[in-house]
Structure 1
Amino acid sequence: MHQTLLSRSAAVLALLTCLLLVGCGSSGPKKYRVTGTVKYKGEPLKTGTITFRSIDGQHNGAGTIAGGSYDIPEVSGLPAGKYQVTISSPDPKAPQAAAAGGMPGDSSAIPKDLLPAKYNTSTELSAEIKSDGSNEIPFDLK
């Protein structure tokens, strides 16, 4: 009985030591919620995706655009810093162009984007996530 109690105590002590060494919280920089609106030619973008990639290449985050708004919650948010932003909105009506080596209709086919390349594949968009205040970042695409 005494031996079992000592074994359990040793196991609990080992577990607590491991937890202290690992830490209680998640490591890495604090993340911030990012929200905003996306308009294209003055109208809210119906559907799409928005992606933020840090200039140093260390962090990225993405959200879904619905009814002209997006929201990246703090849990999957972004650390403070400067980011390159891409916004895409696949055209659901357009026939799909074949991806490299694929055939039209393949699941690997890439849909045509409603937005010009300067907002996605050759993006000119950028944003800064701040550690103080609101990170509500609107995009008014022309």
Structure 2
Amino acid sequence: MSSFRVSWPSGLLFAALLATMVGCGRSSDIDKVVLEGTITLDGQGIPNGEIRFFPIEKTQGPVSGGPIKDGHYVAKSRGGVPVGKHRVEIQAYRPGTQSAGSGPGSSKVEGGPAEPYLPAKYNTNSELTCTVSSDSKTQDFALHSM
């Protein structure tokens, strides 16, 4: 008859692994909704970008958001946007450019790294806020370059 022995450190490692796989603690009590909408700049849909919702004031929960494609977004990362008030950051990207040669007569061609182009008041210094309720489904944002 063979006996199986587990060393003390191995036992702790196994217990930690098991707790991670099974999960411990209760599930999130934070009410979230999947939010979608349109985002325009001067009346035109933003072709490529991202939107993020940062909980503010007494709103509990993680930052959420999603990609913007052809003027539309669906914020469903991390289970959706927590119910409450949020500061909203929107980034829009356009294809970068690079020089097509050097010297006189050289031109710029598309192909460099993507470049953000929205004013900081919509992202790093965002002035945008919104309130999300449990029955919210859509939230549109009409941005202006001036």
**When the two structures are superposed, what TM-score results if normalisation uses the length of structure 1?**
0.65
Q: What secondary structure does 2:39 align onto?
A: strand
Query: Are 2:47 and 2:71, in contact at CA under 8 Å, matched by a contact in 1?
Result: yes
User: How many angstroms apart in 2 are the aligned matches of 1:29 and 1:72?
Assistant: 16
Q: What secondary structure does 2:32 align onto?
A: coil
User: How many angstroms apart in 1 are the aligned matches of 2:64 and 2:82?
Assistant: 10
Write the letter of the residue equivalent to 1:86. Answer: E
- 1:139: which partner in 2? 141
Q: How far 1:115 moved relative to its partner?
A: 0.6
Question: CA separation of 1:74/1:130 partners in 2, compared to 1, >3 Å: closer, same or farther?
Answer: farther
Q: Which runs of 4+ in 1 moved over 6 A?
A: none
- 2:122: which partner in 1? 119
User: How many angstroms apart in 2 are the aligned matches of 1:42 and 1:36?
Assistant: 14
Query: Are 1:48 and 1:66, in contact at CA under 8 Å, matched by a contact in 2?
Result: yes
Write the letter of the residue equivalent to 2:39. Answer: V
Aligned-residue RMSD, C-alpha: 2.4
Q: What secondary structure does 1:35 align onto?
A: strand
- 2:63: which partner in 1? 60
**When the two structures are superposed, what TM-score results if normalisation uses the length of structure 2?**
0.63
Write the letter of the residue equivalent to 2:121. Answer: K
- 1:40: which partner in 2? 41
Write the letter of the residue equivalent to 1:123. Answer: S
Q: What secondary structure does 1:83 align onto?
A: strand
Question: CA separation of 1:94/1:81 partners in 2, compared to 1, >3 Å: closer, same or farther?
Answer: farther
Q: How far 1:63 moved relative to its partner?
A: 0.3
Q: How far 1:113 moved relative to its partner?
A: 1.5
Report which of the two has the higher share of strand.
2
Question: CA separation of 1:116/1:22 partners in 2, compared to 1, >3 Å: closer, same or farther?
Answer: closer
User: How many angstroms apart in 1 are the aligned matches of 2:53 and 2:116?
Assistant: 18
1:64-123: CA deviation from partner (whole Å, max 9, x where unpaired): 00010001238620221000000001232246xxxxxxxxxxxxxx85421111101111
Unaligned residue ranges in structure 1 (runs of 5+):
1-18, 96-109
